[in-house]
Amino acid sequence: MIVRTLKEIIGTEREVSPENGNWVSRRFLLRSDGMGFSFHETIIYAGTETYMWYKNHLEAVYCVGGEGELEDLETGKRYKIADGTIYALNGHEKHYMRAKADMRLICAFNPPLTGREVHDAEGVYPLIEE
């Protein structure tokens, strides 16, 4: 059994931010934990805009705090994301997240992330195979 606290993750290798500092991801479970998915808490800071395209991954994101606007670039649709809303990128959709207040998001990735991934110039996380 694995039991971890946020306190144990902050300030370690499992806490990851992009160079622009727009978000921080605390990676509670990674591929090395053997669950078949990775599980993170992400804070996206108010006033930021992040372009993402999980070309190699499926991601589900459950918002438990803050508020932002999600734009699906495949359809042009915009969604308000706030406490109690989940979105799932089941079609590898390119998207923007614009945070209006610091957003606290619980995220699961399949396949699981291995650790230090941040978005590349295309908004993509690389697929790291063993």
Q: Is 40 in the site for ligand 9YT (CB under 6 A)?
A: yes
Q: Is 97 in the site for ligand 9YT (CB under 6 A)?
A: yes
By CB under 6 A, the residues from 51 to 70 that bind ligand 9YT are 52, 59, 61
User: Which structure tokens are listed for 123?
Assistant: 């908004």
Size of the site for ligand 9YT (CB under 6 A): 11
Q: Which stretch binds ligand 9YT (CB under 6 A): 7-15, 28-36, 38-46, 77-85?
A: 38-46
Q: Is 81 in the site for ligand 9YT (CB under 6 A)?
A: no
Positions touching ligand 9YT (CB under 6 A) are 23, 25, 40, 42, 44, 52, 59, 61, 97, 105, 107
